């Protein structure tokens, strides 16, 4: 009887060893497959994921973690490529935007140098032209620095309680003479009820000025520029709209990218650095707000800035 039990025990131990050896071998094969497949995916930069039929919960967790890392790597690569293309476009646009006024400056200086017989009136006119172009260059460079500060986090933006109605009125008043000189109609809808939001006076003013400037520049053919302020339960919104040529749907998701300009903004009638809306978006985001655009060409193009609403005290 004892001999039989010993034989049975030996057989069981042998079976157990065989099962353990089989399990270890299977795990080794699966691990080798994972390593080799992962290496192949990395070398080929393919869009594949690691797939393995296994009942081992630890291996499943490992595969999920590896696939997440692969997806993050792909996303990082996509973001890098997009950023690289944006930087190339930005450098090309910077070159264009600086070259244009600098060419005028150099040409004007050359004219003044070669023509010593210029009358005082002609000299004053050329000097005024030089001054205007120099100011344009300084403003453009300042925009580059402002965007760099906003994106690096170096620019502090203290937030407090701000009077939305007053800031909106002041921005509209600032452009009112320009709107009239362009032969446009201004439609203003700002309620008498005070509306307060969480933000920064200077940042909101600059954001509104950028959007109004764009509305006048690109929407002039619609002959009307409007502003509407409205308060909701949790937020207050400022809408700036026009009835101009509008923004194509494919461009609406791109206009807030750095240095992006609409297709025809590189002619003399639509000069722009492509930084205004990017800076506007960064400023609004730093105030905890949101900016979006809706556009139907020749019907209505609307930019809406929304901030957190604060109660009236």
One digit per residue, the tens of pLDDT, for the chain of length 313 reads: 776 666 667 766 667 766 666 667 767 777 777 777 777 777 777 777 766 666 677 777 877 878 888 888 888 877 777 777 766 766 676 776 777 788 888 888 888 888 888 888 988 888 988 888 888 888 778 777 777 777 666 667 889 999 999 999 999 999 988 888 888 999 999 998 999 999 999 899 989 998 998 899 888 888 999 999 999 889 999 999 999 888 877 777 777 775 555 444 433 333 444 577 888 898 899 999 999 999 888 889 999 999 999 987 6
Res 288: pLDDT: 93
- Is residue 214 within 8 Å of residue 277, measured between CB atoms? yes
Strand partners, 280: none
- Is residue 273 within 8 Å of residue 97, measured between CB atoms? yes
Distance, first Cα to last Cα, the chain:
96
Assign 130 to helix, strand or coil: helix
Strand partners, 225: 186, 242
- Is residue 238 within 8 Å of residue 305, measured between CB atoms? yes
Q: How far apart are CA 128 and CA 131, in angstroms?
A: 5
Q: Where are the alpha helices (DSSP H) in 186-231?
A: 201-219
Choose among 19, 55, 21, 52: nearest CA to 38.
Answer: 52
């Amino acid at each position: 009887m004892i001999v039989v039990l010993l034989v049975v025990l030996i057989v069981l131990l042998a079976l157990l060893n065989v099962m353990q050896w089989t399990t270890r071998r299977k795990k080794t094969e699966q691990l080798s497959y994972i390593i080799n497949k992962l290496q192949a995916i990395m070398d080929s930069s393919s869009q594949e994921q690691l797939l393995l039929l296994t009942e081992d919960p630890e291996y499943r967790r490992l595969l999920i973690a590896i696939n997440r890392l692969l997806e993050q790597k792909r996303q990082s690569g996509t973001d890098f490529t997009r950023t690289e293309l944006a930087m190339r476009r930005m450098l090309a646009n910077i070159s264009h935007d600086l070259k244009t006024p600098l060419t005028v400056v150099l040409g004007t200086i050359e004219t003044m140098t070669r023509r010593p017989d210029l009358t005082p009136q002609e000299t004053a006119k050329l000097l005024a032209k030089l001054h205007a172009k120099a100011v344009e260059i300084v403003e453009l460079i300042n925009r580059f620095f402002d965007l760099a500060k906003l994106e690096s986090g170096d620019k502090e933006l203290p937030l407090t309680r701000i009077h939305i109605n007053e800031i909106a009125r002041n921005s509209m008043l600032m452009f009112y003479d320009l709107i009239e000189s362009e032969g446009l109609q201004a439609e203003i809808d700002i309620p008498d009820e005070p509306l307060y939001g969480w933000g920064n006076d200077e940042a909101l003013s600059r954001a509104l000025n950028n959007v109004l400037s764009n509305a006048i520049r690109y929407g002039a053919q619609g002959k009307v520029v409007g502003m509407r302020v409205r308060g909701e339960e949790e937020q207050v919104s400022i809408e700036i709209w026009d009835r101009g040529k509008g923004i194509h749907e494919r461009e609406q998701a791109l206009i807030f990218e750095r240095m992006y300009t609409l297709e025809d903004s590189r002619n003399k009638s639509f000069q722009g650095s492509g930084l205004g809306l990017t800076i506007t978006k960064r400023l609004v985001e730093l105030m905890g707000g949101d900016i979006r655009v809706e556009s139907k060409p020749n019907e209505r193009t609307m930019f809406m800035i929304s901030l957190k609403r604060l109660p009236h005290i």
